[in-house]
Amino acid sequence: MKNLTIESIQCPAVYERPLEIVERKGRGHPDYICDAVMESVSVGLSQEYIKTAGRVLHFNIDKALLVAGEVEKKFGGGKVISPMELIIGDRATFEYNGVKIPVAEVTRSAASSWLTKNLPAVNIETDIKLTIAMKPGSPELTGIFDEKAGTNPTANDTSCAVGLAPFTPTEKAVFDLEHYINSQEFKETFPEMGSDVKIMGLRRGSALHLTVACPLFASMISGEKEYFNRKEVIYRAMLEFTKELPFTEVSLDYNCLDRRGLGEAGVYLALLGTSAEDGDSGEVGRGNTIRGVIAVNRPCSAEAAAGKNPVSHVGKIYSILAQLLAEEIYSAELSIKEVRIWLLSRIGAPLQNPEALYVEVLPEESGFHKKEASERINTILESGLASIDTLTEGLIRGDYPMC
């Protein structure tokens, strides 16, 4: 392939190194909320453009700020003093061939639907304010969507994306624990648990330590004694979940700032289940990568994929493509223990022709054959780049999680 470099290197894989740090921000975290809502808006606008114009028009909805509100909370309940504010900005197409497109209405509907489904304690009418601050795009960027531009999509930016495989045991442990805590099963057992889960995993050798933060609903806790009693039961349930993890030792801390004897001031309570109610704001791009975790030992790009255009924004398309290619190469039984892929675009160039494609593989001690692996990797990459149209169709539908 043109512009392809494949390198096999001899070094420890991430899971073989003496220390590894992995973080995940869960569904109710302010940064996660921004990413997920913007991606929901992206899907909604894409469908609206297809309905009106038969194709996705120019937009990028990847700028959002969730401004923390103000609440008064105490054991047994509380009230919202000042609502959260979600400011949704960036660029969109408001008219096509003389037909007005209800951009603001579609945006508001998509955001409201996600918030209602995923944060049931938040009243859309009173607890959060949605501010739509979107404008038309520049002629230079909107021009790549012109019907005369042809069917071969071109990159709207010069950007680099990274794909990695496989998940390490630490990454999987952090990812799975957050999903378990925010699962319907866990919430039915512990309805007092909020959704704003943040987990930090630290592996030293074969020992894993997990630090978990998640508030309890103030309305369901009558006092300090009940809080610490419930916290202990929840802690033991989380610890039980970790027993099957492939580590020689697993330890866990939960809500580390809690202090007995301080009443409401010494415990982690939430009125609405998220720290965005009064403690923490959020932005697009500060949450998880598209792999679902923040793995600080790994190479990464600066792209924030959520909310970006699914047919032209190369940062989004290449981020997903690089990850899918890395996973396919790892699964190809080439005696590879780790794969890293970098995809670099050049603005204005066809998406199928990256400016640079760099594949780095860490071979197993035996069974790896460089020539055979290179040929198979080349075939996988050619197939992946040739099927970008299929990938973008999936992005339009929202098939690929962004956080």
DSSP-derived pairing of the beta strands 84-92 and 128-135: parallel
Judge if 92 and 72 occupy the same domain. Answer: yes
Judge if 228 and 305 occupy the same domain. Answer: no
Judge if 270 and 305 occupy the same domain. Answer: no
| Average pLDDT estimate for 43-67 | 95
Judge if 112 and 176 occupy the same domain. Answer: no
Residue 279's pLDDT is: 86
| Chain segment 320-375, per-residue pLDDT in tens | 999 999 999 999 999 999 999 999 999 999 999 999 999 999 999 999 999 999 99
Host domain of residue 193: 169-275
Judge if 335 and 193 occupy the same domain. Answer: no
Residue 194: beta bridge partners? none
What global pTM score does this model have?
0.94
Judge if 80 and 130 occupy the same domain. Answer: yes
How many structural domains compose the chain? 3
Q: Cβ–Cβ contacts within 10 Å for residue 234, how many?
A: 21
Judge if 299 and 162 occupy the same domain. Answer: yes
The proportion of the chain whose per-residue pLDDT surpasses 90, expressed as a percent, equals: 92
Of 216, 241, 275, which residue is a domain's last?
275
Separation between Cα atoms, residue 69 and residue 65, nearest integer Å: 12
For residue 24, is it within any domain?
A: no
CA angle 122, 68, 175 (to 5 degrees): 70
For residue 192, is it within any domain?
A: yes
Of 275, 298, 314, which residue is a domain's last?
275
Judge if 382 and 304 occupy the same domain. Answer: yes
Mean pLDDT of the chain: 94
Q: CATH number, domain at 341?
A: 3.30.300.280
Judge if 163 and 309 occupy the same domain. Answer: yes
H-only helix segments in 54-124: 103-118
Task: Note whether 326 and 53 are within 8 A (CB).
Answer: no
8-12, 87-91, 153-157, 307-311: segment of lowest average pLDDT: 153-157
| Chain segment 92-110, per-residue pLDDT in tens | 999 999 999 999 999 999 9
Task: Note whether 38 and 306 are within 8 A (CB).
Answer: yes
Q: CATH number, domain at 79?
A: 3.30.300.10
Judge if 98 and 174 occupy the same domain. Answer: no
Cβ-in-10-Å burial (0-12, 13-18, 19+) of 260 comes to exposed
Residue 370's pLDDT is: 92
CA distances from 313 to 56, 223, 266, 318 (A): 12, 50, 46, 9
Confidence of residue 151 (pLDDT cuts 50, 70, 90): low
Sole residue written with tokens 């890293």: 340
Q: Does the pLDDT at position 148 exceed 50?
A: no
Of 214, 244, 275, which residue is a domain's last?
275
Token pair of 280 as six digits: 């923490």
Sole residue written with tokens 């929901």: 40
Task: Note whether 403 and 50 are within 8 A (CB).
Answer: no
